[in-house]
Amino acid sequence: MVLLSMTASHHELDMSTLELLSTGAASVGRTAVETCEAITGAVVVATCNRFEVYLDVDSPVDGRGVQHASHEVARLVAAASGVAEDVAVGAFSTRTGPDVAAHLFEVAAGLDSMVVGEREIAGQVKRALEEAREGGATSSTLELLFQTASRTSKRISNETTLGGNGRSVVSLGLDLASAELPPWRQVRTVLIGTGSYAGASLAALRARGCEDVRVYSGSGRAEQFAADRGAVAVTDLVAALEDADLVVSCSGARGRVAADAGGAAGGGAGRAGAGAGAPGEGELGDAGPAEGEEPSAEADAVRAGGDALGHVLDAAALVRARSRAAEAAGDEAPHRPMVVLDLALHRDVDPRVADVDGVLLYDLASLKAHSPALGSLVVGQARRIVDRATQDFEETRLGRAADTAVMELLDDADRRIAAEVAERAAERRAAGSEVDEAETEALTRSVRRRVHADLHDAIVAARSSALAAAQAEASAVVADAEEALRSAGTNGLDVGACAGR
């Protein structure tokens, strides 16, 4: 077995490319397990600034299984997103062996996030495992990997100050917006969306003192969402925008429609994503919203242009709202500026909104550019915890072979104990002494203590030897797999089809 990860994130790709790559790819993990015999488990972590697939691969020593698995996943992503296969292959960074665990542990801790130290990604990693488990796509090794990632993230949170200041994309966006807004208690906000990230955004606004929050959703869920949280639901978005100072949009409706369209078009792997929603449906990730939080009605009800993949908020609607506000204000007061935060991967807001007079638009790409660095001392502490957790994970994973060697020693010891007890009891009987049950049990305890004391050094040596052998074998498989991947990259994509189950 080999662990393999294929990762695409904000480090290597711009947000537009990442958005395109992740469209319609929600069921990639489950489909990979079903269609590729070499893949025994798969977990997908999809957030607003990363799309990562973690695979448990039953690989032969020559690495061909890993090669087939990686290109099968690339094919599935290409089919689901509509990108060319060579583009999908080139978009992913591939890791094998201990590097897989080290990377995931950094991701779960927020060390690899757009806003370093944000905490929401820990929940996304945990939910990714739960979703894979529900879909029957995980494996015992992936279970161990992701559970260790969650424990490592929690330890870093408890033992360091990383993430202690509530760092997240929404907090960064509100920090930037505050420079252009009135005091928070005077800010009038329109919140678009009713999913988990909308709830987190509302909580962040309330924490800053913003009480005037109106909630809009074309899904019909705004009224219940607002009632549960003490906000006000609105049904006319344009009217709500007329006197708004701030718009926070995180519905993900466009991502849901894109996923549905991708799943409906064509056959094969493309159909696998139908109705599944976009990656990370209804959740947070890297402090950003996941897509697909709103039902398809959101996409149908909000758009002005009627485009099936249109934006939730377009420039024309905003211009109408601003014009009405200007007419109402007349000469009595200057027209107040507006800040728009688009926190959805599949943009809720038309980029042309930035051209509307008096409107400042921040999307994920611009928020990334403004993300502050975190102190090297805190990051160093967290990375040391990650390094130790990676080492412990590898020892645990590879220790199964060592456990087998230890069990063989213990079984042999039990046989020796039984033989010696029987021999000594026979000697007593031959000398004319009766050996009752109590004497037999006492004799057994005495022999066991002596044999196990002598066994300690042998167990340590056997475990060390077996662990070294397992590490050497795993390293050989990883090296062959990496060579196979490099060879495939050099010679093209013709690596053959994965056998179905």
- HSE-CB for 52 with a 13 A CA cutoff: 31
Give φ, ψ of 94 to 5 degrees. -105, 135
Cβ-count burial 243-266 (b if 16+ within 10 Å, e if not)? bbbbbbbbbbbbbbbbbbbbbeee
Residues recorded for the chain: 501
Indicate if 48 belongs to the active site.
yes
Give φ, ψ of 8 to 5 degrees. -130, 125
Q: Are 288 and 47 in contact (CB under 8 A)?
A: yes
The Cα–Cα gap between 423 and 208 comes to 80
Query: 1 in helix, strand or coil?
Result: coil
Q: Are 44 and 128 in contact (CB under 8 A)?
A: yes
Closest by Cα among 9, 5, 27 to 17: 9
CA distances to 433, 439, 443, 444, 448 from 429, rounded to whole Å, are: 5, 12, 14, 16, 21
Written as one letter, the residue type at 50 is R
User: CB atoms < 10 A from the CB of 214, how many?
Assistant: 21
- Residues 6 or more apart whose CB falls under 8 angstroms from that of 459 comprise 406, 409, 410
Indicate which residue of 36, 48, 250, 498 is catalytic: 48
The Cα–Cα gap between 445 and 424 comes to 13
Query: 481 in helix, strand or coil?
Result: helix
Strand partners, 249: 192, 342
Q: Which residues carry out catalysis?
A: 48
